[in-house]
Structures are given as C-alpha cells and as structure tokens.
Chain A
Amino acid sequence: MSFEDHLSAAMRRSVDTLVPPVTGLAGEGLRRGRGLRRRRLVTAGTAAGVATLAVAAGVTAAVTGGGTDDTSRTIPAGRTACDTALSNGVLPEWARDGFSEPEPRIAHATSEDGRMVAILFGPLTSPSAPGRNNKILWVERPDSAGTPLHIDAVLPGTATQVTRDLAGPGPSTVDLPAPGCWTFALSFGGHRDVIHLVYGRP
C-alpha cells in the first residue's frame, strides 16, 4: 500500500467510532440560522422601524378612532388595543436573538398573553406603500415554541377576515385588505394567543 492509501485508511479508522451529537447539531443549527435571518432583517430595517413608530401610532388614532376594537381587555379611554400593544421600548430578553445591541429598542407589539412579539420594521399600511412590504418578524417566547403559525386576522366591527399560514414564527409579509386596528388570532404549536396590529393608510 502507498502512503496515500495508509493515510486514507487511518482517517477512516479514526472516525469510524465517532458518535456525533446529531440532535444538538440540527437544533443549534436551526437556532443560529434563525438568528442570522433576523440579523439581516434588523440590519435592513431597524432605523426605518424606530423612526416611523410615531407616524404609525398617529395613523392608528386617525384611522381607528379608538372605538372599533372589541377586545375584552381593559383598554384605557381614548386608546385602542393596538395602541396598548405597540411599544418602542426594549425588546423582551427572549426576543433579542440576532440583535447586536444588548438592549435593542425597536417598534414591536406584544400579544395579550405575552407568548409572541411582532417586531415591525416600519408602519404597516393597507394597501402596502409603494416600494415597501408589510414586514413582520414574529418571535415566540421560548416556552411557547411551535410551528406552523396560523393567523386569523379580523377587523373588529366588520365582516372582513383574512387567514394566513406561515411555516412558523420568523420573518413574514402580511398584507391586509383594509386599514384599521386588526386583531390577529395566532395558533402555533398548540398555543393560542391574540395580538393587535394597526394598518394605516400609505
């Protein structure tokens, strides 16, 4: 046998009895991949999202007026469920994967039971503004992970209902047929929650 043959045989014998950590590889690879996806979105959208939050909130009040949602939660007078769900504060710790800052501040809405956060990269509009997508990054709380993500969106006070099926939490584009304070019923991995998002006029 040549030296090359010996080398090849030595490699094969050396790895024959390796027992790779299969589950850990796939699971951690998935986690890192999600982080990379989010990082790309954040890089593209953080500045626009923060800068336009005030505009989005203003549009909310103008379009919905505060009396169109029928959520059972206690909503302060003069505010809509969308107003109370929306924040420009620091993301929950479990939703920061992929962000470079230790305490990232970005426009986001939190679901009623706190199982899901919708990170916004600009104002949501109906119809979508020229050259812009209604991009939403869905991040589930770690103890509520699950796929796929099914969305039933209704515009309270109307018969308008839209259904969306996504592979799971992560980046998405959700266009809706009318402006207003929409209620999203979310189903994912056996979990259910509700989130309110405002769609303004472009």
Chain B
Amino acid sequence: MTSEQDFVDLATARGPALFRTAWLLTGDWHLAEDLVQEALGRIYARWSRVAAADEPAAYAQTVLLRTFLSHRRRRSSTERPTDRTEIPDDAASEADLPLRVALMDALGRLDRTDRAVVVLRYWEDLDAPATAALVGLSPAAVRTRCSRALGRLREVLGDDLADLLAR
C-alpha cells in the first residue's frame, strides 16, 4: 500500500470526526471544511512523521486544533470570531435548528482559545491536562479559561439550553 493510499484511508476514516469538531470550533460549514482540508494538507506534508506516530488519529486532532488556532489568529484582523451561523440546509432536523442556532451563537461569543477549550472539554470529553496539551496552555490555565467560558455561556444561554434540549 502506498503512503498516499494510507493517507487517504486515514483522511476518509477520520475526516467526519474532524469535520464535526471543526464545525463546533468555527460554526461555519465552509470554514470547517477549509479547516479540515488545511489540517489534512499539513498532515500529508509530514506524512512520514504521522505514519510513524503511535496514534495517527490523535496526531490529526492535534494538527486540526493548532491549525484552527493559527487560522483564527491570521484572520482575526478582518473577521469576527463568529457573528454569523450557517446551518447546512440538509443537516439539521427542524426540531434541532433552534438548539443549533442558540448554541452556535453562544459559542461565537467566546474567543478562539476559550472556544477550543470548551469544545475539547465538552465535545471531545478531554480532561484539563489533555486539553492543555492540545491548546498549548497549562492545565491550570485551561481550568481558568473553562470556568470563564462556562460563565459566559450561562449568561447567554441560561435556562434556554435545558428548554431547547427538552423539545
């Protein structure tokens, strides 16, 4: 099997999970697509190192996160983090649309690092040390950021979140 085929196999297997994470990070279908493609491109460019890694899937997740953080940094002068939320036409059931819109609006009010911390902690179920390793912070800094971000999300979502989930 060629290294190119190995890469395509990994991208095909991990692409959907990376895209879901990317969508939560960006709140934008096209930005999420671009983010995953950029991350996969960086992975292919270093394929010999990735293939030698014990867990290529974990490596892919790390590259995605770091690409997201650098992406946002590069674009921050011209774009707000997320002031618009694109919901793919074919993706959400009608009942879940209000939940999605509310969630993406709330996540969009966080800065990129806080948003990454929240997504890693509550979507990827990573603990503080694992999250810290991915975003390049100390575990204590991750806890502080997470607490602050949750406070912000509570302000925005409040009891609405439970109500939206109950529908």
Binding site for B on A (CB under 8 A): 1, 3-4, 6-26, 28-37, 40, 147-148, 167-168
Check B78 for interface membership: any CB of A closer than 8 A: no
Task: Kindly identify which residue among A4, A15, A32 contacts B38, using a CB–CB cutoff of 8 Å.
Answer: A32
Chain B 25-45 near chain A by CB (<8 Å), digits 1 or 0: 000000001001111111111
Q: Is the CB of B15 within 8 A of A33?
A: no
Chain B 8-31 near chain A by CB (<8 Å), digits 1 or 0: 100110011011100110000000
B44 to chain A, nearest CB (A): 3
Q: Which residues of A contact B77 (CB under 8 A)?
A: none
Instruction: Give the dominant DSSP class at B's interface.
Output: helix
15 additional A-B residue pairs with CB within 8 Å, beyond A10-B164, A18-B91? A11-B103, A14-B24, A17-B96, A18-B20, A18-B88, A20-B15, A24-B37, A25-B11, A26-B7, A26-B8, A29-B36, A30-B44, A32-B38, A33-B7, A33-B44
Q: Is the CB of A14 within 8 A of B103?
A: yes
Instruction: Give the dominant DSSP class at A's interface.
Output: helix
Q: Is the CB of B19 within 8 A of A6?
A: no
Q: List 18 A-B contacts (CB under 8 A).
A: A8-B125, A10-B165, A18-B19, A18-B91, A24-B33, A25-B33, A26-B40, A29-B11, A29-B37, A29-B41, A30-B7, A32-B37, A32-B38, A33-B40, A35-B41, A147-B5, A148-B2, A167-B2
Binding site for A on B (CB under 8 A): 2-5, 7-8, 11-12, 15-16, 18-20, 23-24, 33, 36-45, 47, 88, 90-93, 96, 99-100, 103-104, 118-119, 122-123, 125, 150, 153-154, 161-162, 164-165
Q: Which residues of A contact B93 (CB under 8 A)?
A: 17
Q: Which residues of A contact B37 (CB under 8 A)?
A: 24-25, 28-29, 32
**Complex formed: what's the CA distance from A4 to B153 in Å?**
10
A171 to chain B, nearest CB (A): 11
Q: Which residues of B contact A8 (CB under 8 A)?
A: 122-123, 125
Known interface pairs A24-B33, A32-B38. Does A15 touch B44 (Cβ–Cβ under 8 Å)?
no
Q: Which residues of A contact B123 (CB under 8 A)?
A: 8, 11-12, 15
Q: Which 4 A-B pairs have the closest CB atoms?
A: A33-B44, A29-B40, A32-B41, A26-B11
Q: Is the CB of A36 within 8 A of B45?
A: yes
**Complex formed: what's the CA distance from A147 to B18 in Å?**
27
**Complex formed: what's the CA distance from A37 to B23 in Å?**
27
Q: Which residues of A contact B92 (CB under 8 A)?
A: 14, 17
Q: Is the CB of A31 within 8 A of B41?
A: yes
Q: Which residues of A contact B150 (CB under 8 A)?
A: 3-4, 7
Known interface pairs A29-B11, A32-B40, A33-B44. Does A4 touch B33 (Cβ–Cβ under 8 Å)?
no
Q: Is the CB of B4 within 8 A of A15?
A: no
Q: Is the CB of B24 within 8 A of A30?
A: no
Q: Which residues of B contact A147 (CB under 8 A)?
A: 2, 4-5
**Complex formed: what's the CA distance from A152 to B165 in Å?**
64
**Complex formed: what's the CA distance from A28 to B12 in Å?**
12
Q: Which residues of A contact B3 (CB under 8 A)?
A: 167
Which chain B residue has the least Cβ–Cβ distance from A36? B45
Task: Kindly identify which residue among B12, B88, B100, B162 contacts A1, using a CB–CB cutoff of 8 Å.
Answer: B162
Which chain A residue has the least Cβ–Cβ distance from B151? A3
Known interface pairs A10-B164, A18-B91. Does A25 touch B15 (Cβ–Cβ under 8 Å)?
yes
**Complex formed: what's the CA distance from A135 to B118 in Å?**
46
